[in-house]
Amino acid sequence: MTIARHIKHRGDALWLAALIHRLSGLALAIFLPLHFLVLALALHHAVRLDAFLHWTDQPLVKLAEALLIFLLTVHLLGGLRVLVIENFDWHDGQKRLATLAATISAIVAFIFLVRVF
């Protein structure tokens, strides 16, 4: 593969979908230990949990929660896309499916954000 073709390939919708899937997985893996820490607070430190929950009422935290929902949805739909690619014949509509997955993710995150505020 030539360098020019390789660079062009990186702008492809399916390559971007794969990149977003990997980055969302990485972000979720970073978030998970923090989530377990909060669960530990719920079990052992009620006062500290209450302070943390009060802190989460900030608008920036609500926005981060919407981003987290977006990343979770993107990762879920990206994983389903990978399952389709690996288990079914390749077809031209997969770019549309990747775009649809991103659109659904954005809609889910937006609905979450509207309901939070």
Q: Mind listing the pLDDT tens digit for each residue in 83-95? A: 877 787 767 777 7
What does the pLDDT read at residue 104? 85
Considering the entire predicted model, what is its pTM?
Answer: 0.65
How far the first Cα of the chain sits from its last, in Å, is 49
Taking only the tens place, the pLDDT of each residue in 90-112 is 677 777 777 787 788 888 878 87
What does the pLDDT read at residue 26? 93
CA dist 40 → 46, 75, 81 (Å): 10, 26, 34
Domains of the chain (ranges, CATH numbers): 13-116 (1.20.1300.10)
> What is the Cα Rg of the chain in Å?
18
Question: Is residue 67 pLDDT above 80, yes or no?
Answer: yes
